[in-house]
Copies of this chain bind each other. A is one copy, B any other.
Amino acid sequence: MNHFLSVEDVPDPEGLVDEALKLKKKPFSFQKLGRNKTLGMLFFNASLRTRMSTQVAARNLGMEVIVMNVSQDSWQIETEDGVVMNGDKAEHVREAAAVMGQYCDVLAIRSFPTLKDKKKDYAEELMHQFSRFAGVPILSMESATLHPLQGLADMMTISEYKKVEKPKVVLTWAPHVKPLPQAVPNSFTQWSRKMDYDFVITHPEGMELPKRFRQDAHIEYDQDKALAGADFVYVKNWSSYKNYGMLGLGKDWMFSQKKLGLTNDAKVMHCLPVRRNVVIADEVLDGPNSVVIQQAGNRVFSAQAVIKRLLESL
């Protein structure tokens, strides 16, 4: 793999899931691989799980880690080509990427969408400019439109908990108090479609995920119908793609014990952070069906498997 910006960069998605699960059993078995190699982690936005788990992953592989809160530690980066840089952005990505690519062996980047300019967000300018100019592998730690490390951790979790060969996996929209990116549901959908799942998406009408990543995934607008017989329920809010960045209404979509009752004793997943009693009820999160903590734990090994692949390709 040259870069890891989406599951499309992975020649063998199921193989990578297996590799990540193996690393979970023996986290320190490849410590020589990263020796004298540096992972540069660039945060253009806030992060907790990704920030910590990716550091642990890199160090499990023997790498050194440099963490940068880009705007806070340095300054704003221009991504547009050909501009006269007389505004508030002090450095162009052409230089920033090329320079950091000389200091680091792999660059990991987190950058959220504006949720205001759909075209710009879905162009993924920052990731593409870094891929183009850094001269080293780029690892997405969540971009404007995708969160592929989360998707991989999600697949690991389903693989660990599934009781049937082809589980029914339901991605269900949930309410929130502010507009959130589509990155997690996009990646979950994209990854799920590579697996052998009975995969269903359910959400209020108008909240359709972009065709680009969803393709022909099955949508069932009736949440009750969608949940029937589900082995896994992935609960997640996202803002509208159609009315780009709009919050979307539907308080009754909060995932409760009653809704869990409709499923086949489903495991309940969420990428976290989760707003309790807005997105998922306390009773579910604190109950035996929730696997959100274990799912977050898998973030170390999803990152570790991907970084291992990137190091092997150097």
A contacts, CB < 8 Å to B: 27-28, 36, 38, 40, 43, 46-49, 51-53, 55-56, 59-60, 64, 66, 68-70, 72-75, 78, 81-87, 90-92, 94-96, 98-100, 102-104, 177, 272-278, 282, 285-286, 292-293, 296-297, 300
Contact = CB atoms under 8 A, between A and B. Distances in A.
Given A48-B68, A75-B48, A297-B102, A90 B53 contact: no
A193 to B, nearest CB: 27
Nearest to A99: B296
Contacts of A75: 46, 48, 273
27 contacts: A40-B52, A46-B75, A48-B74, A48-B75, A48-B91, A48-B99, A52-B104, A53-B103, A55-B66, A56-B103, A59-B64, A69-B72, A75-B273, A82-B282, A83-B276, A86-B177, A87-B177, A90-B273, A91-B273, A92-B274, A95-B274, A95-B285, A99-B272, A99-B296, A99-B297, A102-B296, A102-B300
A52 B100 contact: yes
Contact of A73 (B46, B60, B70, B272): B46
A36 B64 CA distance: 13
B95 A66 contact: no
A103 B274 contact: no
